């Protein structure tokens, strides 16, 4: 089906309109020309009749199928001169007498005024027949120009269509694609060369990014793994006091968080493809794990950590990314709550974290999901919620915040159907 906003349709439409306009103008010109020629021929026939009549010694009124004639002289005149013409001055006229259309010629010759009337009925019949052929020709011209427009549009846009198809079918790994061979040395060829230059810069950028992510993966994960292994050995040291063990435990959790965050950020750097290698992930298991993982943040504060598992949905998602989303919401809720409760509620299509903490002012709520934005009471770098927003965008989820200063905050993640 041809789209009305396509280049091919617009070119064809232009040709159809152009052909229709030319056909209408040509038909109108032919109509006027034929009518004018008809009048001239009738006038010529009547003048000839006037000349022949004037040369006769006795006036004989012409009374043929087409022409009727009358005269008026100083001494006599024809009988039954139609009153519509007897007072006309010399010249040519179009008149309707009774129900018949006439072309009338009034001429003076040898002190005699002649009135010639040409019955135009047959002339009109011939003109109508001719105009039918003109109308058929106009329709033929419109159809031909439309068909020619579609054919020409197909030829003109063929290279553009091939170029668009090749670019549209190119995958993220088709970076060696060359488009120059698809086109000729014209405007479309220049467009293809521009695409090739863009692809070349894109290849260089992706190559640099791949080197960067590989270096980051190695340079960050290796020392973090060493740190985590060292901490595990320290935890097995029986000479440590309870306070020292708690500090070592905090170091272990921080190192593990860094490893998980690094893995998640590397996952975010990859191009996301729906239905790729991701496996179904039980959201309830991840939620419970995140609650236990962050329970130590309560410390000695009078905060109740509550969990409501109304449903246990599964999502096609990388588990580390889901852990970052839920973990950030829990961590923010615990950080901004001094007393009261933090509730995590999981339903079939959404996850909600509700706290009774300090809440946010309207201007803070409006910018809470912006990258690097920090509220008045924030202690981080302003990346947490913006990262959550990016992960939600990656999977088509919707995040919404509702907060009132002094009453707490509610964060809701609405999952897209899977």
Question: Which class for 395: exposed (0-12), middle (13-18), buried (19 or more C-beta within 10 A)?
Answer: buried
Which residue's entry shows tokens 């010109």?
29
> Is 245:235 a contact under the CB 8 Å cutoff?
yes
The residue written with tokens 């020309």 in the block is: 33
Residue 278: pLDDT band (50, 70, 90) is: low
Which tens digits make up the pLDDT trace of 129-181? Answer: 888 888 888 888 888 877 887 887 777 777 777 777 777 766 655 555 566 55
The residues pairing with 248 across neighbouring beta strands, listed in sequence order, are none
Question: pLDDT digit string (tens) for 65-121?
Answer: 788 888 888 777 777 888 888 888 999 998 888 888 888 999 988 888 889 888 888
State the CATH number of the domain containing residue 365. Answer: 3.30.565.10
| Domain contains 265 | no
Structure tokens at 58: 């006795």
Q: What's the structural domain count of the chain? A: 2
Question: Would you call 351 exposed, middle or buried from its count of C-beta atoms within 10 A (0-12, 13-18, 19+)?
Answer: buried
Q: Which residues pair with 399 in a beta bridge?
A: 413
Identify whether 229 is part of a domain.
Answer: no
What is the structure's pLDDT at 381?
41
Question: Is pLDDT at 377 greater than 80 in this prediction?
Answer: no
User: Is-contact 284 309, C-beta < 8 A?
Assistant: yes
**Rounded Cα distance, 145 and 141, in Å:** 6
Last residue of a domain, one of 128, 144, 160: 144
Alpha carbons 368 and 139: distance in angstroms, whole number: 65
d(Cα 140, Cα 135) in Å, to the nearest integer? Answer: 9
User: Has residue 404 been placed in a domain?
Assistant: yes
End residue of a domain, out of 113, 144, 175? 144
pLDDT digits (tens, 9 = 90+) for 290-311: 999 889 889 889 999 999 999 9
Which tokens go with 20? Answer: 């229709």
Strands 303-309 and 340-346: parallel
CA dist 223 and 133 (Å) reads 91
Q: With CA atoms as reference, report the closest residue to 300 among 360, 253, 246.
A: 246
Is residue 207 a part of any domain in this protein?
Answer: no
Residue 193 included in any domain: no
pTM score, two decimals?
Answer: 0.52
| Residue 297 lies inside a defined structural domain of this protein | yes
First to last CA, the chain: 31
Examine residue 249 and state whether it is found in any structural domain, yes or no.
Answer: no
Helix (H) or strand (E) holding 148: helix 121-169
- Cα separation, 313 vs 310, whole angstroms: 10
Q: What distance in Å separates the CA atoms of residue 359 and residue 336, rounded to the nearest whole number? A: 7
Q: 322 in a domain, yes or no? A: yes
Domain boundary among 144, 170, 193: 144
State the alpha helices, DSSP H only, in 295-411.
319-335, 362-367, 384-395
Containing structural domain, residue 316: 272-414
Alpha carbon of residue 24 to chain centroid? 34
């Amino acid at each position: 089906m041809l789209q009305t906003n396509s280049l091919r349709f617009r070119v064809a439409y232009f040709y159809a309109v152009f052909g229709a306009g030319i056909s209408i103008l040509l038909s109108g010109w032919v109509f006027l020309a034929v009518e004018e020629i008809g009048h001239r021929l009738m006038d010529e026939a009547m003048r000839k009749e006037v000349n022949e009549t004037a040369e006769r010694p006795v006036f004989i009124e012409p009374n043929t199928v087409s022409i009727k004639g009358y005269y008026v002289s100083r001494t006599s005149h024809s009988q039954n001169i139609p009153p519509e013409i007897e007072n006309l001055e010399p010249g040519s006229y179009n008149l309707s007498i009774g129900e018949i259309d006439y072309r009338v010629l009034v001429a003076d010759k040898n002190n005699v005024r002649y009135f010639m009337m040409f019955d135009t009925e047959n002339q009109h019949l011939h003109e109508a027949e001719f105009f039918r052929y003109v109308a058929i020709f106009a329709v033929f011209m419109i159809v031909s120009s439309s068909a020619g427009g579609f054919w020409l549009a197909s030829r003109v846009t063929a290279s553009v269509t091939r170029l668009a198809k090749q670019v549209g079918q190119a995958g993220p790994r088709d970076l060696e694609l060359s488009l120059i061979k698809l086109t000729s040395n014209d405007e479309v060829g220049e467009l293809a060369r521009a695409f090739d230059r863009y692809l070349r810069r894109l290849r260089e950028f992706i190559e640099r990014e791949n080197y960067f992510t590989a270096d980051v993966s190695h340079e960050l994960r290796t020392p973090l793994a060493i740190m985590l292994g060292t901490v595990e050995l320290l935890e097995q040291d029986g000479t440590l006091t309870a306070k020292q063990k708690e500090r070592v435990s905090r170091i272990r959790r921080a190192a593990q968080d860094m490893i998980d965050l690094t893995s998640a950020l590397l996952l975010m750097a990859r191009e996301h493809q729906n239905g790729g290698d991701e496996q179904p992930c039980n959201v309830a298991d991840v939620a419970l794990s995140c609650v236990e993982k962050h329970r130590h943040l309560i410390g000695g504060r009078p905060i109740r950590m509550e969990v409501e598992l109304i449903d246990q949905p599964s999502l096609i998602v990388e588990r580390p990314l889901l852990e970052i989303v839920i973990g950030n919401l829990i961590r923010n809720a615990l950080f901004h709550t001094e007393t009261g409760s933090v509730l995590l509620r999981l339903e079939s299509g959404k996850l909600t974290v509700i706290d009774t903490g300090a809440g946010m002012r309207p201007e803070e709520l409006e910018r809470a999901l912006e990258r690097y934005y920090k509220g008045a009471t924030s202690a981080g770098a302003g990346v947490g919620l913006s990262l959550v927003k990016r992960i939600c965008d990656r999977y088509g989820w919707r995040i919404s915040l509702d907060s009132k200063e002094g009453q707490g905050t509610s964060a809701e993640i609405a999952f897209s159907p899977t």
